[in-house]
Structure 1
Amino acid sequence: MVSIITPVYNRQEFLDECVQSILSQTYTNWELILVDDCSTDLSVKMINNYVASDNRIKSFFFKENVGAGVARNKGIEISTGRFIAFLDSDDYWHKEKLKMQVEFMLEKQIEFSYTYSVKLDKNDNDSKVLLPPKSVSSLALLFNNYIKTPTAIYDTKRISKIFMPNFRKRQDWGLWFNILEKTKKAYCLPVPLAYFRTSNDSLSKNKIKLLKENFKFYRTHLNKNIIVSFLLMILFLFVHLSFRIFFEKKIK
């Protein structure tokens, strides 16, 4: 069984599309764990309706806002499936996503996998396809987070449950490093099976945020010194921008 972890915080606009993409999966042996992070909109009511309509859907409600990483960890903690998958509440999947990816992992005996993904523009149209490399090691991951969260699945039977680091930014990147301590590589199923939305912030503003968050990540999670963290931060920006130029293909 696949346990799908979905943190929710004020996502009434997109939540139904997310959940419907799971209900539409051709692979039906799943549980969806909706972890509400103290939403103040209609998300809570929607979650309760989903739980009442399908016994594969479970919920957990935080009484205070704790952030997506803590919410995802709670979902992992209460999950019962062999495979752990992630789908944020403003993203959605292709209907064949779970079937194709689970078969890929079982056939190849893979502990950790990811797929191609589709970036949506501000009008929710398919904008670009992201084409990450066929495999990623922890060394490669230092220079770019190639693994988009809604594409990732790992196998708890082979490497046990692994949790996200307990901070608000870059939790997914930290989880990939934690998983790669147990298995040397993650492998790509080269099919675009996940659709994700991005912030409408300006590119220059995002660059500054990216640099700050990455420097803190290298220092706190990977325990690098200031000089090494600074060098890695600069290299990350170069590799990240190169990836966006050469491996994000516009959809015509």
Structure 2
Amino acid sequence: MKNSSLVTIIMATYNRAHFIIETLQSIQKQTYPNWECLIIDDGGTDDTYEVIKPILNSDNRFQLFKRTDNYAKGLPGSRNFGLDKAKGDYIIFFDDDDIVHPQNLELCVNELNNIEYSFCRYLRAVFIGDFSYDFDLSKDYSKFQVNLSDLEAIIKNELPINSCAIMWKKECFINKRFTEHLMYAEEWELYSRILSEGFKGISTNKTLFFGRKHSKSNTGEFFLGNAKRIQSKKEALILIINNLKDKNLLTRTLFKYFTGLAIAFRDYKLLKQILLLAKMNKKSNLFVQFKYFMFPIWKRFMRIQKALFKNYE
């Protein structure tokens, strides 16, 4: 292995003793050996320490820290603590319940040897229950550049950037941290802020991370209607709009997307806030508000139409 750059893996953990050992073992199996893994305990109360103690004692690349009170409780604060502890040339975030492809670090570091690129994106798959360790170990894959022109697609999740599916050069985090009061969509907000600075990256069409799907994850709670997660997404949305507006990057397409989210949330106050920030013309504002009030009728119509088509099948 020619490249000796240090990779810092930041892993926040909270009461995941039943999952974390499998995640750490998948990190140990990396084909790229020069890494440090900072495990940040967010104040858990289970026996995580006892479970991971043998690994901590046998492999000094793993380090366990307790998040200090200088950082807010939660995933963003724990990750910020890890960022401030990181010694690596590259930064990557892994969750404490997932599985890492053994070539993850190697292939990302190889791509980032190109000084033109500041981050390496890759594909992420999900699994439920037991994981099948039948990895594709081929190093043949297609790839494409990602730059400022892709920001719109990234924000709209047409080109997803999952928090655990990207390796960054440390330069991307100069004067940039997670917004600690956010309890969901914090990576959406921070990553859009980083990418709006014009950093260029590479995206590889190879699956290098496997997310465990379960209802107790932040994403699972969001889709189950958890009020705290939903409110956080709304707050992240406003922060993103403010950043885009400051950089003159708030396009009409993004305006339509953001107002569509507010309509889907059925949050008229949020919609009015977006309209105030965007400062679109009166005609656009009236049209968006009309869509808001017509949305329930449109949804009812679509359900009826779907049922009718189903009866004709």
TM-score by length of 1: 0.77
SS in structure 2 at match of 1:189: strand
Deviation at 1:229, TM superposition (A): 7.7
Q: Does 1:71 align with 2:99?
A: no
For the 8 Å contact 1:36–1:61, the answer to whether it is kept is yes
SS in structure 1 at match of 2:261: helix
Distance in structure 2 (CA, Å) of the matches to 1:120 and 1:234: 30
Distance in structure 2 (CA, Å) of the matches to 1:51 and 1:185: 36
Q: 1:128-168: per-residue Cα shift (whole Å, max 9, x none)?
A: xxxx9863632222212711222111101576473212222
Q: 1:30-83: per-residue Cα shift (whole Å, max 9, x none)?
A: 000000111111112234433222121112113678111111111111000000
* The one of 135, 138, 146 aligned to 1:135: 146
SS in structure 1 at match of 2:125: strand
Distance in structure 2 (CA, Å) of the matches to 1:185 and 1:53: 38
Q: Describe how 1:71-110 pairs up with structure 2 within 5 A.
A: 71-107=78-114, 109-110=116-117
The aligned amino acid for 1:142 is I
Q: Describe how 1:52-71 pairs up with structure 2 within 5 A.
A: 52-62=57-67, 66-71=73-78
Distance in structure 2 (CA, Å) of the matches to 1:63 and 1:29: 27
Indicate the residue corresponding to 1:118 in structure 2: 125
User: Residues 173 and 158 of structure 1: is their aligned pair in 2 closer, same or farther, counting only changes over 3 Å?
Assistant: closer
Q: Does 1:231 align with 2:259?
A: yes
Structure number with greater CO (CA < 8 Å, separation at least 6) is 1
SS in structure 2 at match of 1:118: strand
Indicate the residue corresponding to 1:198 in structure 2: 213
SS in structure 1 at match of 2:242: coil
Distance in structure 1 (CA, Å) of the matches to 2:27 and 2:9: 9
The RMSD of aligned alpha carbons is 3.5
User: Residues 158 and 200 of structure 1: is their aligned pair in 2 closer, same or farther, counting only changes over 3 Å?
Assistant: closer
* The one of 207, 218, 222 aligned to 2:237: 218
Q: What are the ranges of 5 or more consecutive residues in structure 1 without an aligned counterpart?
A: 127-131, 238-252
Q: Describe how 1:184-195 pairs up with structure 2 within 5 A.
A: 184-195=199-210
Deviation at 1:19, TM superposition (A): 0.6
Indicate the residue corresponding to 2:49 in structure 1: 44
SS in structure 2 at match of 1:223: helix
SS in structure 2 at match of 1:58: strand
SS in structure 2 at match of 1:84: strand
Distance in structure 2 (CA, Å) of the matches to 1:229 and 1:116: 24
For the 8 Å contact 1:4–1:32, the answer to whether it is kept is yes
Deviation at 1:205, TM superposition (A): 7.2
Deviation at 1:124, TM superposition (A): 4.4
Q: If you compute each CA radius of gyration, which structure gives the higher value, 1 or 2?
A: 2
For the 8 Å contact 1:7–1:35, the answer to whether it is kept is yes
Distance in structure 1 (CA, Å) of the matches to 2:22 and 2:264: 33
Indicate the residue corresponding to 1:250 in structure 2: none
Distance in structure 1 (CA, Å) of the matches to 2:11 and 2:186: 14
Q: What are the ranges of 5 or more consecutive residues in structure 2 without an aligned counterpart?
A: 1-5, 134-142, 246-254, 266-313
Deviation at 1:230, TM superposition (A): 4.9
User: Residues 204 and 14 of structure 1: is their aligned pair in 2 closer, same or farther, counting only changes over 3 Å?
Assistant: closer
Structure with the higher helix share, 1 or 2? 2
Deviation at 1:186, TM superposition (A): 3.9
Percent identity of equivalent pairs: 23
Distance in structure 2 (CA, Å) of the matches to 1:187 and 1:26: 21
Q: How many residues end up aligned between the 2 structures?
A: 232
Distance in structure 2 (CA, Å) of the matches to 1:70 and 1:18: 21
The aligned amino acid for 1:17 is E
Deviation at 1:200, TM superposition (A): 3.5
Deviates more, 1:61-70 or 1:195-204: 195-204
Distance in structure 2 (CA, Å) of the matches to 1:203 and 1:21: 23
Indicate the residue corresponding to 1:156 in structure 2: 170
The aligned amino acid for 2:241 is L
Structure with the higher strand share, 1 or 2? 1
